[in-house]
Amino acid sequence: MKKIKPLRFSILVLCVFYLSVWCNGEDESVAAPMKRTEVEALYSAIQAFVGKWWNGSDLYPDPCGWTPIQGVSCDLFDGFWYVTELRFGPLHDNSLSCAYNAEFSPHLFALRRLKALSFFSCFVSPRRYPVSIPTQNWEVLAASLESLEFRSNLGLTGRIPSTFGELKNLRSLVLIENGLTGELQANLGNLINLRRLNLAGNSFTGRIPDNFGGLNSLLILDMSRNSLSGSLPLSFGGLNSLLKLDLSYNKLEGKIPEELGNLKKLTLVDLSNNKFSGGLTKSLQNLSSLEELVLSNNPTGGDLTSLEWQNLRGLAALDLSNMSLIGGIPESIAGLKGLRFLGLNDNKLTGDIPPKLASLPNVSALYLHGNNLTGEIKFSEWFYGKLGRRFGAWDNPNLCYPIGLMPTSYAPFGVKLCQQEIMKYETHLGSKVKNGNWDHIDSKPMVSLGFSVCGVSGLVYLVELLMVLVFSFSPYI
Ligand SMILES: *[C@@H]1O[C@H](CO)[C@@H](O)[C@H](O)[C@H]1NC(C)=O
Ligand SMILES: *[C@@H]1O[C@H](CO)[C@@H](O)[C@H](O)[C@H]1NC(C)=O
Ligand SMILES: *[C@@H]1O[C@H](CO)[C@@H](O)[C@H](O)[C@H]1NC(C)=O
Ligand SMILES: *[C@@H]1O[C@H](CO)[C@@H](O)[C@H](O)[C@H]1NC(C)=O
Ligand SMILES: *[C@@H]1O[C@H](CO)[C@@H](O)[C@H](O)[C@H]1NC(C)=O
């Protein structure tokens, strides 16, 4: 009997020990407290977006613990749970999706530890339920908010509230494809910690504020597809961390400032579809990290030979189409060995096509059509075969390809046979005739040559027609 007692005792001790470990474990993972105010603010904020039917205390009694909500993340501060991320939008089956009459609730601003807030496809009825971003209260999130995103909310209208300028900790401000309007306020330029500013696909108007050039932590600046006007601020030369600059599809004008050439880290510059004029900016040749340069559809004017293209060693895409460029195509462009896409079409380029362009090892599209290029194209049959219709040289009235240099099956589309070639044969034969020896055949060789040329060009035409048919039905071209 005396021996059993210590055993009983030790079992008891073990039980108490395990129980206390188990209970403590539960305590830490589940029962970390969340202040009533924080829970209520979360429930009320969510309910305003997703609808009255959504009863948080019923569905998610412990939202930061054992009943997590898709799109909500929490963190512990001083032993209490706080909401740090809140994401609305149909990304997953169980995401918080907005109701048709979603609205902002002031309770949102009671979530003082919020780091990331995003709305994807939440406000979608610009006619029936237009919603504006609240103008007040953002300052209470100034210390915490790092990422704010509104994406694909056509029903989100009105202006960017000026109080956004107080969100000094923002790293990322993304307002893509909403119905936002008005001028961009200079106080967005106060957000000096921004790494990404994306305002693409809204209806913003007016000039780009000068002080945007002070956002020198920016890595990505995208304000494409708006109606911004005026010139590019010279201060943009100060955006010296910038990797990507996309201002395409606006109404920007004036000369592209030389200051852009300071931004040595840029890998993408897209200024296409604006009204930039004043010629090509020489300092662009200093952007040694560039991989894509797209300046198409601007009345830029000027001459390609003014830049030392060979400096842009990493360039993979160069689109300079429809820019009213004059002059010749410099051979230095053929020094850009990494080029995959080269668009020089629809300009006023003259002179010969440098044969070296055909030796670009990775080129898969080369567009030279719609210019006034002259002379003979001297590319190989292999090249025409490889590129097919992605080699464009049509609409150059004085350009031709030489007869006999290639099988007609790989003739460049829309380019005619060189008449000079024919003339050469004709004058050659003509001179022999004049020399007297061939008096008796007189005009007959001319006639037969004429027929054979007709035959060849007829064949070429047929082959071209076939190629058009083949290419337009092939999904791979
Ligand atoms: C949610 O449900 C609880 C219990 O069913 C109820 O007491 C509470 O009033 C409801 N809250 C809302 C906002 O409907
Ligand atoms: C390119 O950069 C160099 C210094 O890195 C500078 O001296 C030169 O003026 C710049 N060229 C242009 C055209 O801006
Ligand atoms: C060519 O550029 C001008 C602006 O310079 C633009 O108005 C026109 O629409 C462009 N053409 C095409 C086919 O995009
Ligand atoms: C061509 O493309 C290949 C494959 O993407 C790449 O490895 C190679 O470096 C490219 N060549 C040049 C000159 O950029
Ligand atoms: C094209 O260039 C030729 C000279 O090479 C010139 O005679 C002709 O006028 C030019 N055409 C256009 C449309 O500029």
pLDDT tens per residue, range 257-312: 999 999 999 999 999 999 999 999 999 999 999 999 999 999 999 999 999 999 99
- DSSP-assigned letter for residue 213: G
How many whole angstroms separate alpha carbon 226 and alpha carbon 382?
43
Residue 420's pLDDT is 59
Quote the strand ranges of 89-167, DSSP E. 116-120, 131-132, 147-158
Residues whose beta carbon lies within 6 Å of some atom of ligand 5: 350, 372, 374, 398
What does each C-alpha distance from 112 to 43, 81, 260, 281, 340 come to in angstroms?
Answer: 15, 12, 39, 47, 49
Residues with Cβ within 8 Å of residue 202, at least 6 apart in sequence = 175, 177, 178, 179, 180, 181, 225, 226
The tokens 């010279």 sit on which residue? Answer: 234
Q: Is the pLDDT of residue 419 over 80?
A: no
Are 116 and 140 in contact by the 8 Å Cβ rule? The answer is: no
Dihedral (CA of 37, 40, 46, 51) sign:
negative
Whether pLDDT at 239 is above 80: yes
With a 6 Å cutoff on the Cβ, whether 61 touches ligand 1 is no
Q: What is the pLDDT of residues 25-69, one digit of tens each?
A: 444 445 679 999 999 999 999 999 999 999 999 999 999 999 999
- Give distance in angstroms: CA of 32 to centre of ligand 1: 23
Residue 19 reports pLDDT greater than 90: no
Task: Tell me what percent of the residues of the chain surpass a pLDDT of 90.
Answer: 71
Q: Pick 84-93+112-414's CATH classification: 1.10.510.10, 3.80.10.10, 3.20.20.70, 3.30.565.10.
A: 3.80.10.10
The three-class DSSP label of residue 442 is coil
Q: Which residues pair with 367 in a beta bridge?
A: 343, 392
> What atom in ligand 1 is closest to the CA of residue 55?
1
Confidence of residue 379 (pLDDT cuts 50, 70, 90): confident
pLDDT of residue 423 exceeding 60, the answer is no
- What pLDDT, on a 0 to 100 scale, did the predictor assign at position 404? 65
> In the chain, where are the structural domains located?
84-93+112-414, 424-473
Quote the CA–CA distance of 122 and 103 in Å, as a whole number.
9
Sign of the CA dihedral 379, 383, 384, 389? negative
Cα separation, 436 vs 218, in Å, equals: 80
Give distance in angstroms: CA of 59 to centre of ligand 2.
Answer: 63
Indicate which atom in ligand 5 lies nearest the CA of residue 348. 14
Distance (angstroms) between ligand 1 centre and the Cα of 150 equals 30
DSSP annotation of 264 reads T
Residue with the nearest Cα to atom 5 of ligand 1?
58
- Distance (angstroms) between ligand 2 centre and the Cα of 250 equals 28
Ligand 2 pocket check: which of 283, 287, 289, 310 to mutate, most ligand atoms within 8 Å of Cβ? Answer: 283
Distance between Cα 421 and ligand 5 center (Å): 20
**pLDDT band of 382, cuts 50, 70, 90:** confident
Alpha carbon 104 to its chain centroid, in Å, reads: 30
Residue 471 has pLDDT above 90, yes or no: no
Considering only residues 441 and 47, tell me which one the structure prediction assigns the higher pLDDT.
47
| Nearest atom (ligand 3) to Cα of 322 | 1
Q: Whole-number mean pLDDT of the chain?
A: 84
Residue 378: per-residue pLDDT: 84
pLDDT at site 409: 66
For 104, half-sphere exposure in the C-beta direction (CA atoms, 13 angstrom radius) is 19
Q: What pLDDT is attached to residue 60?
A: 92
Q: How far apart are CA 176 and CA 194, in angstroms?
A: 16
Ligand nearest to the CA of 259: 2
**158-167, 274-283, 383-392, range with the lowest pLDDT:** 383-392
Q: Is 82 exposed, middle or buried (0-12, 13-18, 19+ CB in 10 A)?
A: buried
Taking CA 318 as the corner, what is the angle to CA 316 and CA 320, rounded to the nearest 5 degrees?
A: 175
